[in-house]
Amino acid sequence: MEEVVLLENMTILLLLGGICSVIFKKLKMPAIIGYLVTGIILANYWSGRSQDTDDIVGFLSDLGLVFMMFGIGMELNLQKLKKTGSFAIMVVMIQVPLMLMGGYLGGSLLGLDSLQSIVFGAIISGSSTAVVTVVLKDQIRLTKEEVETVVLVTVVEDVAQVIILSAITPMMSGSDMEISAIIWMFLKIIAFMVAAVSIGLLVVPKFIDWVDAKTSDRNSSEVVLIVSLGLCFAMAWMATQVGLSMAIGAFLMGVIVSQSKPVTKVSTMVEPMKEVFMMMFFISIGLEIKPSYLVDNIGLILAIYLIYFCLKTASVLIAYYLGNRPMRKSFYASISLVAMGEFAFIIGKEALDAGILSSDFYASVIGAALLSMILLPPINSKADEIYDAVSNHTPARIKMGMQEVDKLRNSFFNKIENASKNTQKNFRVRLTYAYVDIVVIILIEIIFFLATPALSEFIADNTMMEMYSATEAVMVINFLMLIPFLYKMIFNFKFIERVLLDAERRASAGNLAKRRSLNYRLTKFVVELNGWITVIMLDFVIILIVPNSVSFFGHLVVAAISSLILVLVYLYSYFKRN
């Protein structure tokens, strides 16, 4: 490539990107929209665009993706998250699964196949930290602490979307892959992420601290930046070697570097580079868009936006409400998060490159994301009017029903108010863990529901088993995989019930009639119920409910074999201990 070509392209890219971002900032809109518009202008109205332009933007956009994900990772301070982020984590753990399931259903209604619907759910599951931060800066409805919580929710959403992207990467590798290859890729990805985080957290922060200590007194602060970026690109490269996106590797190293002492210094020095290269990433997305696509697919764009708007507001509202926040405050928080996040572009681009999404649908997703960013400021400014209008037009029966739900929720939280702070903390933690267990169980069943035919065929082809017996073998694996999560779920629910039972005892001291109430006796029964019997029964019910080709008697055989394996494992561990 000639120097003149490089200089010409860089001049156009940087100046036009800067001008567009200034214009949109003056309109009180995020600079991201300006970058996307820059790409659209260059793709459709600049006669000087060439293959060199695409090569330059492609290379720089890859750097932008790495820098952006590295920066997002560094913003995730694990210590701060542990101290103040419990509510944000709880919100994300409730609303992201709801977004994924709702996105899957919404994608199916839009005519997408199963994999495309999963990707669609992943795309719409997050919110934009940058856009939400800008919009909430000048509002007065939420306190400073509440605003910080909303922003923290977007950060935790980024973590959730990294996990989601890691999970769907093998699925996007191609439909021609054998099931054994996909399973092997899953195992490699899990092993890589566990090893990278565990070893990285033990070694890298100490190493960066050592480098900083050795160079800080010599006015050589750039050394720690160079080392950190070297580690970032090394992790991004290793991620690609196991089949992951380089974005995930960069994010993981960002999280690891965030635990070092000079993280603020590194973040400050990375920021200018991140902004420049991140602009190139969004310009590269704009280059894929033709205005005619947006015009031709305006109906699809509006449908995607409405699905996203309804799911996001409903899921966040439910999560905040279950977290004992007032309904109005819950609505304010939910309406503040209706802007598709940076991961919508990242996951969408990965799916487009893998051939999962068509160009038209990808353009529609980008159009819906742009629409969500443009509409968030005016919608957020009218949050009071929207809430009052919805409240005034809600039918009386629904209002009465919500009042009853309010009473149940308040009664639930009032029962633990008199408990010690430590008990209250443990109660919230166990409640969160129980919810996580439920989500994991649902995900396991979805995976087995989708994978059982292929797994059964794989077992039948490589063993002496018939197809029916192979399906039973897969169900035994399914049964056994559910046991640890069901056991933990029951264990957590028993603790919760025990706390509620103690609160009921204190509240009904001296009131024999109240202590003989059905609710009290039912709670006591749950606490005293044998854990393992409950686990086996629930496990059997789950595999019976999930559709499969095995008869009822076959389900009994699966439960019997699984229970026998469980007993043998228990006896082995018992005799080994004694």
In angstroms, the Cα distances linking 50 to 60, 279, 359, 547 are 16, 19, 20, 53
In degrees, rounded to 5, the angle at the alpha carbon of residue 163 between the alpha carbons of residues 204 and 117 is 160
Give residues with Cβ within 8 angstroms of 408, minimum separation 6.
none
Rounded to whole angstroms, how far apart are CA atoms 501 and 509? Answer: 12
Q: What per-residue confidence (pLDDT) applies to 147?
A: 84
Contact 377/28 with Cβ under 8 angstroms?
A: yes
Indicate if the pLDDT at residue 48 is higher than 60. Answer: yes
The H-assigned helical ranges of 340-395 are 342-353, 359-381, 383-392
Which position has the higher pLDDT, 65 or 518? 65
User: Is the predicted pLDDT of residue 1 greater than 50, yes or no?
Assistant: yes
SS3 annotation, 192-260: HHHHHHHHHHHHHHHHHHHHHHHHHHHCCCHHHHHHHHHHHHHHHHHHHHCCCCHHHHHHHHHHHHCCC
Nearest CA to 434 out of 504, 522, 496 is that of: 496
For tokens 């820098």, name the residue: 67
In this structure, the number of other CB atoms found within 10 A of the CB of residue 564 comes to 10
Burial of 547 by CB count in 10 Å (0-12 exposed, 13-18 middle, 19+ buried)?
A: exposed
Which of the residue ranges 192-196, 510-514, 571-575 would you say has the lowest mean pLDDT?
A: 510-514
In tens, the pLDDT along 448-499 reads 887 888 888 888 888 888 899 999 999 999 999 999 999 888 888 888 877 7
Nearest-CA neighbor of 348 among 242, 247, 279, 442?
Answer: 247
Best mean pLDDT range from 66-75, 228-237, 337-346, 508-517: 228-237
Do the Cβ atoms of 277 and 60 come closer than 8 Å?
A: yes
**Measured between alpha carbons, how far is 557 from 555 in angstroms, rounded to an integer?**
5
Domain formed by 3-386, architecture:
Up-down Bundle (1.20)
Question: Angle at CA 315, nearest 5°, toward 101 and 170?
Answer: 35
**Cα–Cα distance measured from residue 356 to residue 88, given in angstroms and rounded to the nearest whole number:** 32
Give which of 318, 379, 267, 355 is closest to 96, Cα–Cα: 318
Question: In terms of Cα–Cα distance, which of 39, 46, 40, 75 is closest to 60?
Answer: 39
Pick from 74-78, 125-129, 388-392, 492-496: least confident: 74-78
Indicate the DSSP class of residue 509: T
Residue ranges of domains in the chain: 3-386, 407-577
Give CA 277 to chain center in angstroms: 25
Count of other CB atoms within 10 angstroms of residue 64? 24
Answer with the residue of higher pLDDT: 437 or 305: 305
Among candidates 338, 380, 344, which has minimal Cα distance to 364? 344
Return the higher-pLDDT residue of 27 and 364.
Answer: 364
Q: What is the token pair recorded at 260?
A: 């070092």
The answer for residues whose C-beta is within 8 angstroms of residue 439's C-beta and 6 or more apart is 93, 97
pLDDT at residue 508 is higher than 70: no
What confidence tier does 218 reach under pLDDT thresholds 50, 70, 90? low
